[in-house]
Amino acid sequence: MNSIIFIPEQLMVGFQNRKDTFTGKLAYVIYYDEKGKLRKEHSWQNWRDRNIDPQEFVNEPTTGFVLNKKVGGYCYHYDPRQTYVRVYDPRGFEFEITVPNLLWILENSDCIKGKGLAGEFVYGWDGAELLLVPVDSPEYKESQKISIAKFSKNFIKGKDLIVGHTYKFTNSEQYVYLGKYDFYDSVRDPDSGRFGRINAKIGKRFFFGYEGSGPHNTVVPQISIPKSLTRLVTEETSDIMSDQYADYVSLMKKNPHFSPEDISKDKFVPFAVNEIMGLLFKECPWNPSYRYPLHNLLRMFVRRNDGTITHVCLRYITKADTSTQFPEWKNPDAPIYYVTNGDYDYTPALNIDDFVAGTFETLYTNPVYSWQTKKIWGYKERPVTLTELLNHFTPVWHYTYLTNGEFYKKEFFNDNYDFDE
């Protein structure tokens, strides 16, 4: 089970008549969230028998739950039914929980023969999954604090936040307040459908620093920019300047949502040949000594000989039998390279010159059958060496910077940028 479980205050229960239950009624339990909205109402309405009045209960600790029987765990053709466990609620109905939920219950409470589950329980939700939660479990105690805070009306408002102080959100995490600043984002072009640079001012937002999850189970400083503080900040946990404040501010200044991208600062830096080889040729991830073409293409920005920027897709031909090492591995002087317009756009690259376009030649044939009114067309690779291709264009890294001068990122291709336009 997750350590944080949502425990609502009010429950709504719908019913179906079922002969295979002890009480004759099987229940579908849903809940009101902290905004008063009845969650999962649509599926609940479709499932329940409307001839049976639904019931509303306060989700308070209750005793008397009894395990009934296993259901599901079978498969008719291609329609498997997950295994569930029927549980009797002392308020007069049965409902279903998952096997992992049952195992977690038994880790935190006893099951007494003839009397059922010992102790008090409440209903909770882990995402969309219903859980029967033992009140004696450590997860309940922590989750209950957060749920009480969510349903409380005593949330901290933006005007009361103090820069550098630490606050707890409804997810129980600690956040250092950095201030309220202009927020910038990218906007989709209605004609091309592409997103532009992150430089469109959207409005004011609140910026926070926190310790988030990084790669390989590490913890790394990150910036959080919530859209709204409504029912979000529950308490101030430290009223002194955080020791991490300066580090978070430095990180915030490198964020394009704080300081937008400055297109005038763009730089295009040529690739080294070994960088091209490293990106184009991939080794087997689970056995580096075993080489084969995982991806025999590389989309990249290139500089034409006249100094303008465009993009191409560099490829190399591969053998049909990819179980053996390709003999021309990472050799720029091998005649195995050709260029197309894109990865899915498998057509000649016409945006450089005739030599580059000719590495992926257009073929035409005459109609074969009388009903064919158009010529049949196709393409064929005319591979050359990479050394020859580099006489006609130069692959470049695209370096981008923010308005405040901070370096943002470097990339060899981005679908959202078209420097030919």
Share of the chain above pLDDT 90, in %: 58
Residues 309, 411: Cα–Cα separation, whole Å: 14
- Among 136, 29, 236, 13, smallest CA distance to 144 is for 136
Q: Has residue 322 got a pLDDT over 50?
A: no
- Tell me the per-residue pLDDT of 298-310, one tens digit each, with 9 for 90 and over: 899 999 999 999 9
Q: Check residues 345 and 309 and name the one with the higher pLDDT.
A: 309
Is it the case that residue 400 has pLDDT exceeding 80?
Answer: yes
Give pLDDT, residue 323.
46
Q: What is the pLDDT of residue 10?
A: 94
| Residue 95 CB-half CA count within 13 A | 22
Alpha helix segments (H runs only) across 152-252: 245-252
Q: What count of residues does the chain have?
A: 421
- Name the strand (E) or helix (H) holding 269: strand 267-270
pLDDT tens digits, residue range 100-152?
A: 999 999 999 998 887 789 999 999 999 889 999 999 998 998 888 878 777 77
- CB neighbours of residue 29 within 10 Å: 20
Whether 208 contacts 173, CB under 8 Å = no
In the chain, the amino acid numbered 195 is: F
Show the beta-strand stretches assigned E in 102-232: 111-112, 116-117, 121-126, 129-134, 166-169, 174-185, 200-213, 219-224
Calpha distance 349→393 (Å, rounded): 12
Rounded to a whole number of angstroms, the distance between the first and last alpha carbons of the chain is: 52
Environment class of 193 (CB within 10 Å of its CB; exposed 0-12, middle 13-18, buried 19+): exposed
Mean pLDDT of 274-283: 83
- Sequence-distant (6+) residues with CB within 8 A of 53 are none
Secondary structure of residue 310 in the 3-state scheme: strand
Is residue 351 a contact partner of residue 341, using CB atoms and an 8 Å limit?
A: yes
